[in-house]
Structure 1
Amino acid sequence: MSFYVYLSGEIHTDWRDEIQRGAEAKGLDVVFTSAVINHDASDAAGDHLGAEDNAFWRDHKSAKVNAIRTKTLIEQSDLVVVRFGDKYKQWNAAFDAGYCAALGTPYVTLHAEDIVHPLKEVDAAAMAWATTTEQVVEILAYVLKG
């Protein structure tokens, strides 16, 4: 039986690939899912619903279309990894963590030590806080193999 892991958060580094490669190297039966990580495609997710003159309404439509994917995949997940990077604020990742907390879906945060304070509430509800992708892989290995 596969373990489903949703990878949420920043899209500017290859952290998702690192976790997937690490899980594969350990022979873990994990199915990884994620939001659309192509920024332009994500921003245009609602464009087929009609052009908008106001950027707010374009973003609003796309956010709702993206939420169909995000909501569905988080609800199907056994675990969610929420990555906060240092380049941009990942408000969507914080929202995903809150959604996990509301659902009772376990999640692990992945971020550097220098942003512990602004993420204290997000981390408080997490099952673990990791600073490296290797630590996330070790968590997966422990959960799946003991």
Structure 2
Amino acid sequence: MKLTVYLAGEIHTSWREDIKKEAESLNLPIMFVGPQENHEVSDNIGEEIYGTQPGSIYKDDAASDLNNLRTAVMMQKSDIVIALFGEKYKQWNTAMDAASAVSLGKPLILIRPEALHHPLKELSNKANVTVETVGQAVRALGYIFE
């Protein structure tokens, strides 16, 4: 059995690569998918497809349409969603993706530091598993195959 795991969360750090490397080191049969990680591509895809927009709000809306389409397809095809909440970056997209996973009935592993326990307590209670580290999330994935 091979699983598809959607990796939701900020795109500014290497946490996705860390998960992929650790899963690979455990020989877990997993394919990882996620949002567009190239910030420039993500921000400009609307104008690339629709053409130049009349202002920054329209440019953002056009890009959001296409990024939301991509996320919806990838998430619906996934078996599990991992959502990482870090301490450094704003987490609006992560919260939206985690809520979408819950709404879709997708199993959800939430990664968040102890410092974010209180603001994420309701979401943690909706997740199947809440952990504090990438390593714990990968070990939770590994347990599925035992």
Q: TM-score range by the shorter chain?
A: over 0.9
Task: Give 3-state SS (helix, strand or coil) of 2:145's partner.
Answer: helix
- Aligned-partner SS, 1:60: helix
Letter in 2 for 1:35: P
What are the equivalent positions in structure 2 for 1:37-116 lying under 5 Å apart? 37-48=37-48, 49-116=50-117
Equivalent-residue separation in structure 1 for 2:55 and 2:122 (angstroms): 34
SS at match of 1:118: coil
Q: Which 5+ residue runs of structure 2 have no aligned equivalent? A: none
- Matched with 2:130 is 129
Q: Which runs of 5 or more residues in structure 1 are unaligned?
A: none
Report % sequence identity. 38
Aligned to 1:46, the other structure's residue is in SS state helix
Corresponding residue for 1:15?
A: 15
Cα RMSD for the two superposed structures: 1.1
Number of corresponding residues: 145
TM-score by length of 2: 0.94
Residue 4 of structure 2 is aligned to residue 4 of structure 1:
yes
Separation in 2 of the partners of 1:47 and 1:116?
Answer: 39
Give the partner amino acid of 2:28.
L
Distance 1:62 1:123 in 2: 29
Which residue of structure 1 aligns with residue 29 of structure 2? 29
Displacement of 1:54 after TM fit? 2.2
Per-residue CA deviations over 1:52-103 (Å, capped at 9, x if unaligned) read 2321111111011011111011101110000112122121111111111111
Pairwise CA distance, 1:126: 0.5
State the secondary structure of the residue aligned to 1:45.
helix
Q: Distance in 2 between matches of 1:53 and 1:90?
A: 28
Give the SS at the match of 1:88: coil
